[in-house]
Amino acid sequence: MPLPDAPDYSKRIYELLKETDLENLSYAQFQGVAEKLFIEPENEDEMRRLVLIQLARMAVRGDWDGFLTGGGGGGGAPTDAQYVVMALNGTLTNERVLTAGSGISLTDGGAGSTATIANTGVTSNVAGTGISVSGATGAVTIANTGVTSLGAGDGITLSGSTGGVTVSSPIIGDLVAAQYVTLATDTQLQNERVLTAGSGITLTDGGAGSTITIAASGGGGGGAGYQAVLPDRDGSFPASNRELYLVSCMPPWGSTQGSTTSSTTASNSPYFRPFVSPVGGTVTEIQVNVNSAADTPDYTIGIYSDSGGLPDSKIAEATISIASTGTLATSTFTGTPTLVAGTQYHFAWVRKDASGAGNFTAENPEGCFKYASVSQTYPNLASVGATGVVVALSGSNNVLPATITTGNLSPFSNSPIRFGLRWD
C-alpha cells in the first residue's frame, strides 16, 4: 500500500534502486541515492520512502544493534578491527589487551574515565662502550654502535662463545713472580726486594710519577780515603767542654800549632779548606776571631759538600759583619748546615766587596797538612812552601757559588781561617 497522500510510484528512489534486493543493498549504495536528495517539502514522499528502505535493509541484514547505539548508517563498528582494549571481548576477533610491562604501571579509572600509564622507577639510561641510547626516558632505544667481535690483546686469551666469554692472561703468574725492586712490600708480589738506604746513603721518594733520588748522606764525603775517629759531644766530657768544636785544628786537616799570629790574605776569589765533621746533626753556630776592625769588609763564609776530595755543592752560608775585634759568632744561615759525623766537607770564605783587608785569626800554613797537588816547576822540594794548603776558585769574585766547577780550582798558599762549630 502506498504511503498516505503519496503517489504509488517513486520516480527517483525506486528507479535508482530497482533490481537490487535488500540483502545485497550496501550502505554505500543507499548513501549514494540519499545524499543527492534535497530536504524540501516537494521531496517529503521520497524521504519517507528512503527511511522505509533503510529500515527494511537493516531488518534483513541484522544491523539493529549498530543502529540503536549510534553506529551510523554503516551498520555499526567492525568487529575485526585491531582495537586496544582493557580486557578481551567475546564479540571482537582482533583486539589487543593493554598490559603494563617492566618499569610501567597501568591504572584503570573505569568506564567513562581514563587509563593512566606511568614510569615506576626508571630515571635514566646510560650507554656503555659500543652502545648508544636515544629517545626520552619513556621511549628509549638502545643499540650496538659497532662492537661486532672480541679480540685478545698481548698476553690475553679468550675462550667460550660470545654469550659466555672467559678472559685470561697466561703471563700473570710470571709477572707476579718477577724479582722487582720496590719501595715497600706488596701482598700481590712474591719476590720483590725493598730498596733500602744503607750507611752514608739517603733515599728521597718524589712520589708516584716522579723520581727516587739516591744520594750520599750530607751531600758527599766520597773524597775522604779514611775517616778520623773523633769524640762525640755525648762523650764523658763536661757540658762546657762539648759546646764548641775547633774544627780547623782537628785531624786530619787541622793545624798542629795551637797559637799563631797568622792572618788571612784578603782576596776576591773564594778559598776552600777541607774538614771532617766530628758530630752528626745541624750546626747552630759558626765562630771566627777578628784581629782588626779597621778597613775590613763583610765576609761570606760557607760549608760545601765533598766530591772526590774537592768542594762540590754549597750546603749553607752566613755573613760575618766585621764591626769589632774578638770572637764573632753567626747563627743565621741561608740553607741548613746538617752534617754527618765522619764525613768530609769544605769550609769556604770570601770578602763581599773588592775593598778592605779582612784580618782574621788563621791557622799557620806551615803547620797544616797539604791536600792539593803542586806544580812540577818548583826547582826543588825545599821551596814548595805553603802552596796546596787551600784551593782558590776563579770566576766567582766576591760570591760563594751554589756549585763548584773543578776546572776553575787551583792550589794556593793563603792561610786558612781558624773556625769553630757548635751543635746545640
The residues, ordered by sequence, that sit 6+ positions from 346 with a Cβ below 8 Å of its Cβ are 272, 273, 274, 275, 303, 304, 305, 306, 310, 311
Residue 200 placed within a domain: yes
Q: Give the residue from 27, 55, 89 where a domain finishes.
A: 89
The residues, ordered by sequence, that sit 6+ positions from 34 with a Cβ below 8 Å of its Cβ are 50
Q: How many CA atoms lie within 13 A of 402 on its CB side?
A: 1
Q: Which three cell numbers stand for residue 105?
A: 604501571
Tens digits of pLDDT across the chain (424 residues): 556 666 666 667 777 777 777 777 777 777 777 776 777 776 777 778 878 877 877 777 666 554 444 444 445 677 788 888 888 887 788 888 889 888 888 899 888 889 898 888 766 666 666 666 666 555 566 666 666 777 777 767 777 765 677 777 766 667 777 888 888 888 888 888 888 887 668 888 888 888 888 877 644 444 444 556 666 555 556 665 657 888 998 888 888 777 666 677 778 899 999 999 988 889 999 999 988 877 677 899 999 999 989 999 999 999 988 878 889 999 999 999 999 988 999 999 999 887 777 788 888 887 888 887 776 666 666 666 777 889 999 999 999 999 999 999 998 888 899 999 998 7
In 268-309, beta strands by DSSP E = 271-276, 281-282, 285-292, 299-307
For residue 125, with 0-12 CB atoms within 10 Å meaning exposed, 13-18 middle and 19 or more buried, which class applies? middle
205 and 291, same domain (yes or no) = no
413 and 264, same domain (yes or no) = yes
Q: Report the chain's C-alpha Rg in angstroms.
A: 56
414 and 338, same domain (yes or no) = yes
Residue 168 placed within a domain: no
**Per-residue pLDDT, 295:** 66
331 and 185, same domain (yes or no) = no
- Count of domains observed in the chain: 3
Residue 163 placed within a domain: no
Cα–Cα distance for residue pair 264/80, rounded to 1 Å: 123
Q: Which residue has the cell 718477577?
A: 178
**Per-residue pLDDT, 310:** 93
191 and 303, same domain (yes or no) = no
**Per-residue pLDDT, 270:** 95
308 and 183, same domain (yes or no) = no
Angle at 169 between CA 168 and CA 174, to 5 degrees: 145
243 and 214, same domain (yes or no) = no
118 and 107 Cβ atoms separated by less than 8 Å? yes
Q: Where residue 313 sits, what CATH number does that domain have?
A: 2.60.120
- CA neighbor of 414 nearest in space, from 381, 391, 395: 391
Which range of residues forms the domain containing residue 75? Answer: 1-89
267 and 357, same domain (yes or no) = yes
**Per-residue pLDDT, 138:** 53
Cα–Cα distance for residue pair 35/224, rounded to 1 Å: 126
314 and 392, same domain (yes or no) = yes
Q: Which three cell numbers stand for residue 241?
A: 767542654
Cα–Cα distance for residue pair 217/7, rounded to 1 Å: 136
Whole-model pTM above 0.85? no
Q: Which three cell numbers stand for residue 278?
A: 766530628
DSSP designation for 263: B
